[in-house]
A and B are shown apart, each in its own frame.
Chain A
């Protein structure tokens, strides 16, 4: 097939659960490609010499090469190529903001002047990862000699898992400490089952265990073990403790009954399985749920509310549709499912009754002014225009800040004004030698793939450091 013929092929639609059906279960919404669909989609790739898509991917997956393998029907080869640079393809294929990354740069999309026409790289990646899981083909890696070096990883989110995987493959003994009773960080407690089945996350963790990585749940570093104890016992430490500090709006009524942070709402639903009516952990199943915010977290909360049986779910966002940071796909899925959107509306008060239960929101009408520092047009209040909206559950989904726990117990650890840990951008080393950090604790709330990218960098630097020490006879005081 020549390029012109390839350009004529239209994107293969991935089958999805019907909206009316899927709001009544928590199963995944997109159902995945069949092998035939994957091959057809792979045929749309032009195999560009300059590989713009690869540059768009934060971990530089060799995209044209793996797509070629799909086109050839050699799925085992395809997944092996992805795994060279991406430890969690089943996760990234699902949750990466591809339209901002690899697919944004795709020549096919550019030629059509529509990113929706780009080769669906993420969906192909997902296909290969799912195929691998179904066929148990996880490649046996060559056994590397153990180095006798020990590395502690704090947090089992995507950043921590990447560091653990990379270092274990290099023969280091890695222990991952996780505060919760389950692994995955946000992948486990935040992103809902219908977008990322937990089984996938646990599968990846099992794979890491098979490489010899030790997982210690229910262990809060700084509490269950002090930072000093960890540093004494391990040759290097990686901090991947995430951005788990929920923001509130600071408006009246935020402590009324029925007001949740998105973290609490999603944690109850996901981690504690509150979507199951028989679960021990309760959740308020509102009839009219208002979700405040416009990002992925807001979409996840709104769609969770529908699945918990709400009659009406409204996303209230203070800017307009164009400024909304949520992924297009999530926005479309939410609308299909019946989530309503209320743009240019800024909540200024949460209203309640005498018994302290939420009854609604007071909203300030906004209009767009000049662009602000983020380049988005700044929302400004329209004087005198406020209105009330009924709601019996309110979910505040306006973002998270870096988790303050580790910085608070590690004197000398440099942080910025938002509480994010400051690192060397190449090595991810913090202001404390031998202590590295990456992911949301460094970036503020960012993305899975960026967290993994930083984890990868840190792993490389940690390995270099340990190798240097090895050369220096393993003496801890050997010159850097």
Chain B
């Protein structure tokens, strides 16, 4: 059957997409390892590439029986119709994804979902990333820079192998401070320690953006509250539909229940009930472990081995 007309010639923002997009849906164009279970994928998703803004995410299903998982759009090329996802293999679905090769396709990709980051000229912006949080932070830091802000980035991780996107972040930041819990690279310590010393040095920030594991976000935003820096955090609750239909992603912000997939994922970090978020993330820990073990057992493939050439 002929491709529907809609998809055979589509113009958006002055770019015409001549190909039938059907054939190009969700195909992995490129894939590279950023080390330590973190993979960068470039994927055909023309509609997402056309419309996404920093701070937004997609929901992906890897297989036709798979889970729906949210992943931030780390970058996009509207001309090519591709998006970049940076994904840490932590459980069953993300590991299954890591087994795919260029030319393979994800079963479903839907987006861009969520509200975009509120980007404007603030003056001086502090961008604080913990671990995989560097992936969602990168497009925001870039947008903040493009909006004319001075951008200072703190990039933290447990250990040097878990630091990702350092070069990308350097390219869009006026200054980057690297910090590791064990001191294997950069400063030794946690992200809040680095923020504290930046302020002690006399740096002033008009706005902060923190993205990373919930505890990192909690402690960093407790500090920025003390320091009087307005702060937004990108929350990562468990999601299913991503369209506001199930309420599974609910978080408490300022005492009110919000659905992170449609009202967020970014919120005023000083109003977030972090303990509830952390607890709710653990709801399926048992089931996740079992699912992951089943998966390992099923294919007995070492995902690390496959990627490191």
A contacts, CB < 8 Å to B: 150, 173, 175, 179-181, 189, 214, 217-220, 223-226, 229, 233, 244-246, 248, 254-255, 257-258, 260-261, 263-264, 267-268, 272-273, 278-282, 284, 355-356, 403-405
A180, A214, A223, A282: the one contacting B241 at CB < 8 Å is A180
A257: chain B residues within 8 A (beta carbon): 279-280, 282-283
CA distance A273 to B65 in the complex (A): 8
Q: Per-residue CB proximity of B104-123 to A under 8 Å, as 1/0?
A: 00011111110000000000
Query: 8 tightest CB-CB pairs across the interface, nearest first?
Result: A282-B287, A264-B246, A218-B110, A244-B245, A356-B279, A261-B247, A280-B67, A282-B284
Q: Judging by beta carbons under 8 Å apart, are A255 and B250 in contact?
A: yes
Q: Per-residue CB proximity of B206-224 to A under 8 Å, as 1/0?
A: 0000000000000000000
B61, B66, B112, B240: the one contacting A268 at CB < 8 Å is B240
Q: What 10 additional pairs, Cβ within 8 angstroms, besides A179-B243, A257-B279?
A: A180-B241, A219-B47, A223-B113, A224-B47, A255-B252, A273-B65, A278-B294, A280-B67, A281-B68, A404-B262
Chain B CB count within 10 A is highest, among A217, A229, A282, A284, for: A282
Q: Judging by beta carbons under 8 Å apart, are A405 and B51 in contact?
A: no
Known contacts being A280-B291, A282-B288, is A229 close to B12, with CB within 8 Å? Answer: yes
18 A-B pairs within 8 Å (CB atoms) are namely A150-B6, A179-B241, A181-B61, A189-B241, A189-B245, A214-B4, A218-B109, A220-B111, A223-B112, A224-B112, A229-B12, A245-B245, A255-B250, A255-B276, A272-B68, A282-B288, A284-B284, A405-B244
A220, A226, A355: the one contacting B243 at CB < 8 Å is A220
- B48 interface contact, C-beta 8 A: yes
Number of residues in B with C-beta < 8 Å to the partner? 43
Q: Judging by beta carbons under 8 Å apart, are A255 and B294 in contact?
A: no
- B184 interface contact, C-beta 8 A: no
B4: chain A residues within 8 A (beta carbon): 173, 175, 214
- B168 interface contact, C-beta 8 A: no
**Shortest distance between the CB of A450 and any CB in chain B (Å):** 20
B contacts, CB < 8 Å to A: 4-6, 12, 47-48, 51, 61, 65-68, 92-93, 107-113, 240-241, 243-248, 250, 252, 257, 262, 276, 279-280, 282-284, 287-288, 291, 294
Chain A CB count within 10 A is highest, among B66, B108, B244, for: B244
B243: chain A residues within 8 A (beta carbon): 179-180, 220, 244, 403, 405
B51: chain A residues within 8 A (beta carbon): 223-226
B68: chain A residues within 8 A (beta carbon): 181, 272, 281
Q: Judging by beta carbons under 8 Å apart, are A246 and B241 in contact?
A: no
**Shortest distance between the CB of A447 and any CB in chain B (Å):** 19
CA distance A175 to B108 in the complex (A): 19
Looking across the interface, which residue of chain B has its beta carbon closest to that of A186?
B245
Chain A CB count within 10 A is highest, among B243, B280, B284, for: B243
CA distance A355 to B248 in the complex (A): 19
Q: Judging by beta carbons under 8 Å apart, are A181 and B48 in contact?
A: no
CA distance A475 to B93 in the complex (A): 50
Q: Judging by beta carbons under 8 Å apart, are A280 and B111 in contact?
A: no
A268: chain B residues within 8 A (beta carbon): 240
B279: chain A residues within 8 A (beta carbon): 257, 355-356
Known contacts being A181-B108, A219-B110, A282-B291, is A248 close to B241, with CB within 8 Å? Answer: no
Q: Judging by beta carbons under 8 Å apart, are B252 and A267 in contact?
A: no
CA distance A273 to B66 in the complex (A): 10
Looking across the interface, which residue of chain B has its beta carbon closest to that of A225?
B47
**Shortest distance between the CB of A372 and any CB in chain B (Å):** 26
Q: Judging by beta carbons under 8 Å apart, are B283 and A272 in contact?
A: no
CA distance A63 to B137 in the complex (A): 61
Total residue contacts A-B, CB cutoff 8 A: 115
Known contacts being A278-B294, A403-B245, is A223 close to B280, with CB within 8 Å? Answer: no
Q: Judging by beta carbons under 8 Å apart, are B244 and A220 in contact?
A: no
B92: chain A residues within 8 A (beta carbon): 280
A180: chain B residues within 8 A (beta carbon): 241, 243
Looking across the interface, which residue of chain B has its beta carbon closest to that of A273?
B65
B107: chain A residues within 8 A (beta carbon): 181
CA distance A472 to B8 in the complex (A): 28
CA distance A272 to B63 in the complex (A): 12
CA distance A224 to B242 in the complex (A): 13
Looking across the interface, which residue of chain A has its beta carbon closest to that of B277?
A255
B110, B111, B257, B291: the one contacting A255 at CB < 8 Å is B257
Q: Judging by beta carbons under 8 Å apart, are A224 and B247 in contact?
A: no
A219, A255, A278, A403: the one contacting B244 at CB < 8 Å is A403
B67, B111, B246: the one contacting A246 at CB < 8 Å is B246
A255: chain B residues within 8 A (beta carbon): 250, 252, 257, 276, 280
A218, A224, A278, A405: the one contacting B108 at CB < 8 Å is A218
CA distance A226 to B245 in the complex (A): 20
CA distance A218 to B47 in the complex (A): 10
A179, A263, A284: the one contacting B110 at CB < 8 Å is A179
A179, A244, A261, A280: the one contacting B65 at CB < 8 Å is A280
Q: Judging by beta carbons under 8 Å apart, are A272 and B48 in contact?
A: no
Looking across the interface, which residue of chain A has its beta carbon closest to that of B284?
A282
B65, B109, B247, B282: the one contacting A279 at CB < 8 Å is B65
Q: Judging by beta carbons under 8 Å apart, are B257 and A404 in contact?
A: no
B67, B110, B257, B262: the one contacting A248 at CB < 8 Å is B257
B245: chain A residues within 8 A (beta carbon): 189, 244-246, 263, 267, 403
CA distance A248 to B4 in the complex (A): 41
B67: chain A residues within 8 A (beta carbon): 272, 280-281
Looking across the interface, which residue of chain B has its beta carbon closest to that of A179?
B243
A254: chain B residues within 8 A (beta carbon): 257
Q: Judging by beta carbons under 8 Å apart, are B244 and A245 in contact?
A: yes
Known contacts being A267-B245, A403-B244, A405-B243, is A224 close to B61, with CB within 8 Å? Answer: no
Q: Judging by beta carbons under 8 Å apart, are B110 and A267 in contact?
A: no
**Shortest distance between the CB of B14 and any CB in chain A (Å):** 13
A263: chain B residues within 8 A (beta carbon): 245-247
B110, B112, B257, B288: the one contacting A181 at CB < 8 Å is B110
**Shortest distance between the CB of A387 and any CB in chain B (Å):** 26
CA distance A220 to B51 in the complex (A): 11
Looking across the interface, which residue of chain A has its beta carbon closest to that of B288?
A282
A245: chain B residues within 8 A (beta carbon): 244-245
CA distance A181 to B107 in the complex (A): 9
